[in-house]
Amino acid sequence: MNASQRPALLPGLRVAKRHFNALDLSRLVAAFAVLFWHYQHFFVPPVDYGFQVDRPAVLPLYHPLRWLFDYGHSAVQYFWAVSGFVFAHVYLADSSAMRRFWLARVARLWPLHLLTLVLVAGLQAAYTRINGTAFIYHEQDWKHFLLSLPLAQYWGWQNNQSYNGPSWSLSTEILAYAVFWVLLPALRRAPLSVALPVGVIMLRLFFKGWPDGPVLTCIGYFFLGTAIYGAALRGWLRQPVLIGASLGCGWLVWFTLAHHYRYDATALAGTFAVLFAMLAIDLADKRDFLAIGRKLGDASYGIYLWHFPLQVALVLLIDATLGSRDIARQPGFLLFFLVLSVGAGFASHRWIERPAQKAILRLASPKKQA
């Protein structure tokens, strides 16, 4: 899209900083953290539900990397909060956002989701044929496959996670997108005043135990991220404020861990401690020294969706050739899995995601007049 084709920007709805490089880089780190949490899958034998892995006993380098192995799944909440901030940055000021929003989302997310969904379905069929049960995610039926096609597999109709299990968080995020799109006109009028109550109410309902907790949590985190952008538009997020907010949230993490630990409250405080810290770094990076973060962050989606299919394929190979998964106890194998997953993420973005995205947008765009 050349300069003449770009939609006009609505005034007062975009902060002066064009790119948030540290925030982009943190997305890569968050995807990396999820790999550590799911590494324990290598030690789950062919069983149905409920198998618990003794992580300290089997995971390589567990003690120095304990926080990653035990809490890497918290990165999912961080993804949601970052998405809310980034969507506000991209779409609030975009005069054509209501029209092009869903096409842009489908073009970005669906091709790789469809590819990995079909691939995991084939790998799970092979694993089930050999072992009599699926690997990790046991809902491998037509109902869950059809729900997974439009990323609706975690909207409350599911029995449990299915197929490419990590994509459950994308499923809930689609609903956050829908709420954002519906509220976009109101958000443009009062970004902070609209987004903050939505985020707080959703998380309040979650903490009170309402059904469909993952959906409530996702929408809550997403809109708190949007609210932070609304505060930035008011000029409230200066570096001292961000640093103070990050330290304050960090203190809340320590307090909840030390006195009355509750994971959900700790994850909430920790998520925004990191988010505020990344924004403070971005404000300090006035010369774009962290510009590489843009390219590195692009790989996060591929890492997130590719690591489980790679894991199933590795388990099938190990079971067929070695007969024991003890190799996964070795630090070298952990490093191999991490490098393989990250490499797949970068390769996927370059050779699958971007070409597919461009092709969909090109096909959907109106033909130029002769």
pLDDT at 242: 96
Give residue for tokens 């197929």.
163
Instruction: Please report, in tens digits, the pLDDT of each residue of the chain (370 residues total).
Output: 444 456 678 888 999 888 899 999 999 999 999 999 999 999 999 988 878 999 999 999 999 999 999 999 999 999 999 999 999 999 999 989 999 999 999 999 999 999 999 999 999 999 999 999 999 999 999 999 999 999 999 999 999 999 999 999 999 999 999 999 999 999 999 999 999 999 999 999 999 999 899 999 999 999 999 999 999 999 999 999 999 999 999 999 988 888 777 888 899 999 999 999 999 999 998 888 888 988 899 999 999 999 999 999 999 999 999 999 999 999 999 999 999 999 999 999 999 999 999 999 999 876 543 3
Beta-carbon-side half-sphere exposure of residue 143 (alpha carbons within 13 Å): 9
pLDDT at 307: 97
pLDDT at 335: 98
pLDDT at 369: 36
Q: Which residue in 322, 340, 320, 326 sits closest to 43, CA to CA?
A: 326
Residues 137 and 48: their CA atoms lie apart, in Å, by: 9
Bridge partners, 9 (sequence order) = 94
